[in-house]
Structure 1
Amino acid sequence: MLPTTVETKCSTLGCQNKATSRCTGCRDATPPTVYCSSDCQKRDWIFHKKYCGKKAYTFDMTLVGSRDPVITRSFEVPSWYTFQELHYTLQYAMGPWQCTHLHEFSFRGERDPFTYNDDEKLKILPRYLYEDDFGFSMPGQPAVPKEWEEKLLLSDVFDPRGRLHGKVVQDGEISPLMYTYDFGDCWEHELKYKGEKLAREARPLFTSAQGCGPIEDCGSISGWEDVKAAFRVPAAQRTSEQRYKVQWAKDVSGLGDACDPFKEPDVVQMNYEGRWENHLQAYKLASARA
């Protein structure tokens, strides 16, 4: 452990003592992991070892077509996450949404980013659209086991030494990653890779968020704009259609009269560990049932 001048409390859960040293394994992380004693550090190791000295990837995400305001999220995710866990992260970031529709990952660019020889192809495909699921396959798509998303690591793609890294780099930069959710409403998200840093937790962390996530099944961006427009009209002046949209939003969101499509996301709340864990377990159950 190294001396530190950081005026903060010990990182061990429940300890309120002033920190006097920091973990050497992630000493350059911001904020640093600090302790008041070696005993506290030992007690915290069962949690801290999950991310000590490991990397996280940072992304800026934009919901394509959103406006007034443009819906954005900036976040970091562990480098050891799979693409399925990235899918869960994006579901959480947007509502949270409920992980009940098909989705697809793809990289922008002319080349197939997941072709690494003539005999073996691994493309970003819709999560559930496979012959084993519905008795049909998508024309022109290679047969890829649906479990690929559970196994492909983000580091396979975004780490410079990753086995697929070279396939997504064009003109010296990583191509934007596109995430499409719900092929009916067609929610398109553009993710721009911003770099890597030392991980601060073994879960996603959000640094900024703008714009309320749309309510699922509202009918794409245009449908969400219609919902927002209905809420803008004073209750006494709403048409029957606008009253229906407002009531629908209150019912479907589960928020009742607290439903507010103009409420800005609370980043502090989004970063609650228990909140993330609860939604993660729900997403895993939803995927298991699919």
Structure 2
Amino acid sequence: MPRQIFHLLVTLSDIAPPVWRRVQVPGGYTLDRVHRVIQHAMGWRDCHLHSFEINGAQYGEPDPAGELLLRDELDTRLDAVATKGARFRYTYDFGDWWEHDVVVEDVTAPEPDVRYPLCADGDQACPPEDVGGAFGYTEFRAAIADPAHPRHAEMADWVSATFDRFGFDPARVTTLLRRLT
């Protein structure tokens, strides 16, 4: 049983209306596990590089070429770098450059009989992978919403005609998160 549960608010930057998730994770999770929680919670597929910026330090997967100065996320526990009220940045896909603001809203004792991690709440579906960042997502939403848009058919075929930007189910995310434990 974990000793502390971190309540994280993860918000995708530069997207309106906001895409956000509230997740609860054990404080003993290393940052690579927090990365996987965010991936599942946001709906990303973990196809790209990522990093955390916490208190001015960069964390991620070590660069074998040594060109990126990242501290190893496998060696860093969440409870060692963050406390209640802390804010940090999680960046995913260095091409599309999806920045996420992460706030530690609370740190509590675990609830009896609750399995962690879990997704408590959220809003809006995550943008599709490789859509082109915030600008590309704006264009994508316009094309999907308007059958007369010149790129409507292309975008609908690419992602699925059933894409629902309002579709988000915390219970489904929690089920996916159960696979991490």
Give the TM bin, normalised by the shorter chain.
Answer: 0.7 to 0.9
Q: Secondary structure at the match of 1:90?
A: helix
* Residues matched between the structures, number: 179
* Corresponding position of 1:182: 93
Q: Counterpart of 1:191 in structure 2: which amino acid?
A: V
Instruction: Render the CA deviation track for 1:175-208: whole Å, top value 9, x for unaligned.
Output: x210000010000000011121122444221221
Partner of 1:42: none
Identity %: 25
Task: Tell me if the contact between 1:57 and 1:77 (Cα under 8 Å) persists in the aligned partners.
Answer: yes
Pair 1:103 & 2:50 matched = yes
- Indicate the residue corresponding to 1:214 in structure 2: 127
Corresponding residue for 2:9? 60
CA distance in 1, matches of 2:78, 2:120: 20
Whether the 8 Å contact between 1:227 and 1:249 is mirrored in structure 2 is: no
Counterpart position of 2:61: 127
SS in 2 for 1:262: coil
Separation in 2, partners of 1:226, 1:238: 10
Asked whether the 8 Å contact 1:227–1:246 carries over to 2, the reply is: no
- Alignment of 1:265 with 2:173, yes or no, is no
Q: Which amino acid aligns with 1:100?
A: C
Name the residue aligned to 2:103. 192
- Which structure has greater strand proportion? 2
Work out which of the residue numbers 90, 94, 102 in structure 1 matches 2:42.
94
SS at match of 2:135: helix
**Cα pair distance change 1:136/1:268, threshold 3 Å:** closer
Deviation at 1:238, TM superposition (A): 3.7
**Structure 1: stretches of 5+ with no match in the other structure:** 1-49, 108-112, 115-122, 161-172, 251-256, 282-290
Counterpart mapping for 1:268-279 below 5 A = 268-272=171-175, 275-278=176-179
More helix by share: 1
Partner of 2:22: 74
CA distance in 1 between partners of 2:118 and 2:75 (Å): 22
Name 2:82's counterpart in structure 1: 158
Give the TM-score of the pair, scaled to structure 1: 0.56
Structure 2 equivalent of residue 30 of structure 1? none
Cα distance in structure 1, aligned partners of 2:41 and 2:135 = 20
Whether the 8 Å contact between 1:62 and 1:71 is mirrored in structure 2 is yes
Q: Which has the larger radius of gyration?
A: 1
Task: Answer yes or no: is the 8 Å Cα contact 2:23–2:117 preserved in 1.
Answer: yes
What displacement does 1:136 show? 4.8
Q: CA deviation at 1:217?
A: 0.4
Q: How far apart, CA to CA, are the structure 2 residues paired with 1:126 and 1:154? A: 13
Residue 34 of structure 2: SS of its match in structure 1?
helix
Following superposition, the deviation at residue 126 of structure 1 comes to 4.1
Cα distance in structure 2, aligned partners of 1:125 and 1:154: 11
Hey, what's the Cα distance between the residues in 2 that align with 1:180 and 1:261? Answer: 24
Whether contact under 8 Å (2:32, 2:73) holds in the other structure is yes
The structure, 1 or 2, with the larger RCO (C-alpha pairs under 8 Å, 6+ apart) is 2
CA distance in 2, matches of 1:191, 1:157: 13
Work out whether residues 126 and 165 of structure 2, in 8 Å CA contact, stay in contact via their aligned partners in 1.
Answer: no
Q: Which amino acid aligns with 1:223?
A: G
How far apart are the structure 1 equivalents of 2:60 and 2:80?
19
Provide the residue aligned with 1:84 in structure 2.
32
Instruction: State the secondary structure of the residue aligned to 2:153.
Output: helix
C-alpha contact 1:228 1:261 (8 A) present in aligned 2: no
2:132, 2:35 → 1: CA distance?
21
Q: Is the 8 A contact 2:22 2:121 kept in 1?
A: yes
* CA RMSD, 1 decimal: 2.2
Letter in 2 for 1:270: V
TM (norm. structure 2) is 0.87
